[in-house]
A and B are shown apart, each in its own frame.
Chain A
Amino acid sequence: MNTGPFIKQNNTTGKMMKNLFLALLPLLIFTFYKNGLLPFIKGYATFYGMMYPLLLLLVGIITSYFSEYFYFRVLKHQTKVEIKEELRHSFPIFPGLFLSLIVPYNTPLLLMVFASFIATFFGKMLYGGFGHNLFNPALIGCFFLLTMYGGYIAKMGGYFNTLEMDTVSFATPLSNAQGVDGIGSYATLVAPYGTLWDFFLGTIPGALGETSALLCLCAFFFLSFKRVIKWKIPAFYIGTVFLLTLCIGKANGMGLWYPCFQVLSGGLFFGAIFMATDPVTSPITSIGQVLYAIFLGISTVTCRYLTPLPEGVLTSILTLNLFVPILDKIGSMQGIAIKKVAVPLLACLFCSFLLIQNVCLKYAKKDATDSNFQIIDKKTMGKETTYVVTQKGNGGLIKIEFVLEGQKIKTMKVLEEHETDAYFQMVMDAAYIDTLLQNQEKIEEVDTISGATISSKALKKSIMNVLKEEGILR
């Protein structure tokens, strides 16, 4: 007998999933365009290469369906009719669909089958099926794929599609940034791939479908309007990452472009809007969601700066999925409103301060000035700056005078030295000072003079220290 409300509203789980699929459709089209159609048109890919993203999608979805069929048939011994009904309510399309958007382009089809099977069977069905999984299934599949065969896929080309392999292919934006510990200039971090607008549109190297922040943002508005996803999670997640990278950027003298760069790369938008908001694996309570998102942000930034992994999104979400029951516990506490929020939030703030401190200190250590170097005099006349410095050599302090114009050292003159004559003569005879001045831009690569290592090294270090002082060298 019916006990509940006797009127109903039209929203069903099926409708929500349909809206989710609609929101993903532009991303799928973009994936095909960027990784398949565009290279084909420009002549970098064959027809097979053009259809490859769609093939991956197809293979992923078919494997998902098969995995669920396998589960119901072999483990639950259900009949075909029952299984058909179960599949209608279980939405097997989604692990495969999401997976095909987050794997690298060069994933072999067989590995795609493997990843999709792991995602659906182990990540979703073994936990009890739809609605009962603890971890995001697509992320589980991708995680296994990259852990076991990441090296192999990288050998096959990694994240780069055929067009990018010939034009851009040295590293994805975040791997590139990791090479310089995440801190660099606009020219080194952003410019190799285009402008920030390119990052926003998504025409940068990355996993198949997760690069376009613009399309993800449109999807976010659509899904929030239709009340399909938990909007607080992407808002606070991206906000936290933006805030933390803003602080890191400001502490290292980088402008507003830096947090924008960090937020728009690494598939953060995709992960925050589609993966973190997966309803089954994210908190139910409002406060739980906010805490989840903030911790995700902190975790992602930590991963990007302090761990060898270039991308933090995947591991952050998987780790935080474990904590969702606890976050819900906090969020469902009644009454003592302040206590229940204050303690975790303080923990967040503390963690983020530690993080920022750590990153800045780590960078600052690299930047520590040479203790053997001292500036005695500095004069600026018009465009020219004159430095008189001392650098510790073999026999004592070497006094050198530098004249800089703009960003370049024009002249370098040794005023006083106490080196061993024979060795210092070697350095002078080899016109070492000219070599140093000519190769200012690549000063680190200049070799010292063998036989007079210490003296030549002292001269080289003096130039480097002056350049560092001027901020030309980092």
Chain B
Amino acid sequence: MRKIKDGMIKENPLTVLMLGLCSTMAISTTFEKSFLLGVAVLLVLVLSNTIISLSKKWIGKSVTTPSLILIIGTLVTILELLLSTFLKPLYDAFGIYLSLIVVNCILLGRGLQVAMKESVRNSFVDGLGIGLGYLASISFFGFFREILGNGTITLVDATEKIFGQKIVVTLLQGDYLPNALFISPAGAFLTAGILLGILGMRRKKHETH
């Protein structure tokens, strides 16, 4: 349990380890997309960590990275195929960033650092923790960007097929607040900067205490 908490806060992939920022910035334009990407990464991460840990005896030192990419790639491809069949709108919404999960540094990074060294159970838990941390932070990202950029929270849009209808909550309206900057890529960097800055300050305060 503690390990999971660690993964979420102390070793949060986005804000502390700063891995996987590119897909975060590109996808997190709406809350729903961010949440679903987080779920996708969580799934792939847990599975990949487990599988890598299971097969670590058979992966030679000189072929570690290609082997890991192979495993992760296979998992992502399965995910892609599933999504493109059952949830096409979501597949379209993700676009290229679904395939890019393969090279998302979180997966390869945790695979090398943790899964190759620790037991299966530990790798599973670590994957879960880091994945949840990623899910939490990317959702928060998407939430923040969408609220400030559009004034809405999209709960169901691309997954319409499952729920039957779109659910988009409009919270903020008015002259000033919805502005296009936060939806744009520049806004992603700005949000990331502000968020990381605030969290960094809090961490520094904790450390000095």
Contacts and interface: CB of A to CB of B under 8 A. Distances in A.
Interface stretch (B45-53, B103-111, B176-184): B176-184
Interface string A135-179: 000000000100111001000000000000000000000000000
A149 B148 CA distance: 13
Nearest to B180: A148
Nearest to B184: A147
A108 B175 CA distance: 11
B176 A111 contact: yes
Q: Which of A111, A148, A149 has the most CB of B within 10 A?
A: A148
Contacts of B176: 110-111, 149, 152
Nearest to A149: B179
A149 B179 CA distance: 7
Interface in A99-136: 108, 110-111
Contacts of B179: 148-149, 152
A323 B179 CA distance: 30
A152 B175 contact: yes
A233 B179 CA distance: 36
Contacts of A144: 181
B29 to A, nearest CB: 16
B191 to A, nearest CB: 13
A111 B181 CA distance: 15
A108 B174 CA distance: 14
A149 to B, nearest CB: 6
Contacts of B175: 108, 152
Interface residues of A, number: 8
Contacts of B186: 147
Interface residues of B, number: 6
Contacts of B180: 148
Interface in B123-182: 175-176, 179-181
Contacts of A110: 176
B187 to A, nearest CB: 9
Nearest to B175: A152
Contacts of A152: 175-176, 179
Interface in A228-257: none
A289 B103 CA distance: 44
Nearest to A147: B181
A148 B176 CA distance: 9
A149 B177 CA distance: 9
A445 B179 CA distance: 38
A155 to B, nearest CB: 9
A84 B83 CA distance: 61
A114 to B, nearest CB: 8
Nearest to B201: A75
A456 to B, nearest CB: 45
Interface in B177-199: 179-181, 186
Contacts of A108: 175
A31 B180 CA distance: 31
Nearest to A114: B176
Contacts of A149: 176, 179
B150 to A, nearest CB: 13
A108 B186 CA distance: 24
A147 B181 CA distance: 7
Contacts of B181: 144, 147-148
A108 B124 CA distance: 54
A107 to B, nearest CB: 12
Nearest to A111: B176
A274 B42 CA distance: 53
Interface in A384-425: none
Nearest to B181: A148
A43 B176 CA distance: 30
Nearest to A144: B181
A111 B176 CA distance: 8
B27 to A, nearest CB: 22
B145 to A, nearest CB: 13
Contacts of A111: 176
A111 B179 CA distance: 12
Nearest to B187: A148
Interface string B112-124: 0000000000000
A144 B179 CA distance: 11
Interface of A: 108, 110-111, 144, 147-149, 152
Interface of B: 175-176, 179-181, 186
Given A111-B176, A144-B181, A149-B179, 11 more contacts: A108-B175, A110-B176, A147-B181, A147-B186, A148-B179, A148-B180, A148-B181, A149-B176, A152-B175, A152-B176, A152-B179
14 contacts: A108-B175, A110-B176, A111-B176, A144-B181, A147-B181, A147-B186, A148-B179, A148-B180, A148-B181, A149-B176, A149-B179, A152-B175, A152-B176, A152-B179
What are the 8 closest A-B residue pairs judged by CB atoms, nearest first? A148-B179, A148-B181, A147-B181, A149-B179, A152-B175, A110-B176, A149-B176, A111-B176
